[in-house]
Every structure is written in structure tokens, then in C-alpha cells.
Amino acid sequence: MTAQTLPAGDQAVAAPAIELANAARWYGNVVAVNDVSFSLGAGVTGLLGPNGAGKTTLLHMLAGFLAPSAGTVHVLGRSPHRDPSVYRQIGLVPERESVYAFLTGYEYVRFNARLQGMRNADSAARASIARVGLEDAADRAIGTYSKGMRQRVKVAGALVHDPQVLLLDEPFNGMDPRQRLSMMDLLVEMAGAGRTILFSSHILEEVERIGTEILVLVAGRLAASGDFRAIRALMTDRPHTITIRSSDDRRLATTLMADPAVFAVELKENALSVQTAHLSAFRRIIATAGRTAGVRLTEVVPADESLESVFDYLVRR
């Protein structure tokens, strides 16, 4: 049950759950997804990109609602387009907020279970509602739900049949931070049970918390894929920012300024912010600098190791 990383190492037992080969999709003259290839196994993967990058188009291709204009899209080894039986193994949470407003949360989830042909629809629906933590609101009409509750009931409906592949389009929209955290826990837990989960987002901290695996889509093209820290390390031409706390920041700053590997030093409240080109070189420098200046270092943290900066970089390149 090893969480497969991408690109898929092929000694794994099963074929990758999701596989795109040179997939492209265009609408008239507008290219929404351009020559994208990747494969995903079990685990949580974040699909990132600014608005209009083609995330929704990609998810719709995976969900079988769009045929690729070129290339191939396979989910669980099959082409999802025009093959309804594939939905037995796919759970889809679309981006649009609307859910049947006149149904109660429970009725909606049960409806999904029945449409999946489940015999134990009642208990499955109760269980699914419980997984997203909506028990208290289960018997209220969805029309009375808040945005976050609607998102959760959509997720409950999508995972009621325990799909092998779960596709979520902006699932955290409208959720409050606590709901976000518990939804993330749920996704990680499902991934732990061998499910393949792909969710899209344009908010980067969401992705950071859950999985380390990301796919970055920029203007329809796959700009990066893999572990986001690894991706960050590959981008050597962009300076790293490091936050340092020490017993005497001012003194340390003057020492660091003298070193050619340091681009800039900025004195902040109780901390130093240092910019450098090479992380490994800096590790040596900081150790010596601390000793020569006679300053005790209390904290050395790479400040910009956030997806935001990775993303910024990829978009601007």
C-alpha cells in the first residue's frame, strides 16, 4: 500500500489509477489543456493553478464529461468518456455550488447511494454524512445550508459508494478553517486506505497541509509535478529567503552582509530575513558567521518554502 509517487514507478502491482498521455483539450481556438501527461496512484494530489489555467477542464476530462481533443485519458485503465459504468469507481465533486435545494442532506446522499445501485443505501448514507461531520444538519433541507455545509454534503454524496478515485473541484471553497482541516484529514485518511484523490485549488496553503504531491497547471500546460519541496529545490535561479532568530540579530546581520553568497539582509522585529542563492552554501556560512560573531542561533527557517512562492515563480517564469 505504498503511496505511489509520480511519475509512476512501474513495479507497482496495479496500473496507475489516473493516467494522461499527451492529453489536450481545446474549444475552438482556445486551448484549455495543452499536451499534459502524468499518472497518479493512491494518495492525495493537489492540482494547482491560477483561475483559468484549465483545472476544471482537466477534471471534467477525467470525469468523462469532456473528450480529450488529442491524446488519451485513462481512469482505472479505461477511458471514462461515454462509459457510464466507470462511475462505479469515481466520485465527483463539481465546482458549482448548487445541490438540490429541496432535498435534505440525508436524502441527497441517500439518492446518490441509490443511483450507485447500493442495497444498503440508508446505512451508507448515514455513514457518509458522519464522515463529513454533518449529522446535526442531515435532516434539514440543503437550501438552508451554508456554503461550507453544501461543499461537505457534496463530498458526502461523492464518497458514499467508496470510490477508488475521488475528483474534487475546489472542494475547500466556502469552508471555514476548521472545516477545511477536518476535510483535509478525511482526504488523507482515504488516501491512506489506497484511494486516489485529486483535488484542484488556487489557494496554496490548502495543498501544503494535505499532500506533498502537486501538479501545477499554468495556462493549460503542466508546469511542474511532484513533491513541492523538491520542485522548489530545482529552482536554483531564484533566491531563497531564510528567517533567522538569534541572540543578537544586528550583529549577525553585519557579519552576514560581508559574505558574497548573501544577497540581502533585512532586520525585522525579533528576526533576520536573509536572501541567498544557494541553500547548501548558506548552511555552512551561517554556522561560521554565528561562531565569528559570537551569536547564538535560536532558529533558522526557510521562510518562503510555501507553495505560494513556488507557484509565483512558475507562473512568472
Q: Looking at 67, 233, 234, 261, which residue binds other proteins (CB under 8 A)?
A: 67
The three cell numbers of residue 199 are 483535488
The three cell numbers of residue 48 are 494547482
Distance CA 91, CA 169 (A): 11
**Separation in Å, CA 253 to CA 226, 230, 243, 258, 275:** 35, 29, 12, 9, 12
Task: Tell me how far, at minimum, the Cβ of 179 lies from other proteins, in Å.
Answer: 21
With residues binned 3-state (H G I as helix, E B as strand, rest as coil), the percentages for the chain, rounded to 5, are 35, 30, 35
- The answer to the question of residue 50 lying near other proteins (CB under 8 A) is no
Distance CA 237, CA 239 (A): 6
Q: Which of 124, 167, 173 is nearest to 152 (CA)?
A: 173
- The answer to the question of residue 66 lying near other proteins (CB under 8 A) is yes
Task: Tell me how far, at minimum, the Cβ of 225 lies from other proteins, in Å.
Answer: 20
What angle is formed at CA 180 by the lines to CA 111 and CA 308, rounded to 5 degrees? 130
Q: Looking at 10, 11, 82, 177, which residue binds other proteins (CB under 8 A)?
A: 82
Task: Choose the binding region for other proteins from 206-214, 245-253, 267-275, 293-301 (rule: CB under 8 A).
Answer: 267-275
What is the size of the binding site for other proteins (CB under 8 A)? 58
Task: Tell me how far, at minimum, the Cβ of 268 lies from other proteins, in Å.
Answer: 5
- The answer to the question of residue 21 lying near other proteins (CB under 8 A) is no
Task: Choose the binding region for other proteins from 79-87, 201-209, 221-229, 292-300 (rule: CB under 8 A).
Answer: 79-87
- The sign of the CA dihedral 287, 293, 297, 302 is negative
Count CA atoms closer than 13 A to 6's CA, side-chain side: 28
Q: Looking at 34, 89, 179, 212, which residue binds other proteins (CB under 8 A)?
A: 89
Question: What is the Cα 82 distance to its own chain's centre?
Answer: 27
- The answer to the question of residue 262 lying near other proteins (CB under 8 A) is no
Question: What is the Cα 217 distance to its own chain's centre?
Answer: 12
The three cell numbers of residue 168 are 474534487
Cβ pair 216, 227 in contact under 8 A = no
Build a one-symbol-per-residue string for 181-210: x at contacts with other proteins by CB under 8 A, - elsewhere.
------------xx----------------
Q: Exposed, middle or buried by CB within 10 Å (0-12, 13-18, 19+), for 24?
A: buried
- The answer to the question of residue 301 lying near other proteins (CB under 8 A) is no
Build a one-symbol-per-residue string for 112-151: x at contacts with other proteins by CB under 8 A, - elsewhere.
x-xxxxx--x------------------------------
- The answer to the question of residue 69 lying near other proteins (CB under 8 A) is no
- The answer to the question of residue 105 lying near other proteins (CB under 8 A) is no
Task: Tell me how far, at minimum, the Cβ of 221 lies from other proteins, in Å.
Answer: 15
Name the site residues for other proteins (rule: CB under 8 A). Answer: 1, 12-15, 17, 25, 27, 32, 41-42, 54, 56-57, 60, 63-67, 76-78, 82, 84-90, 92, 94-96, 98-100, 102-103, 111-112, 114-118, 121, 157, 164, 193-194, 241, 266-269, 273
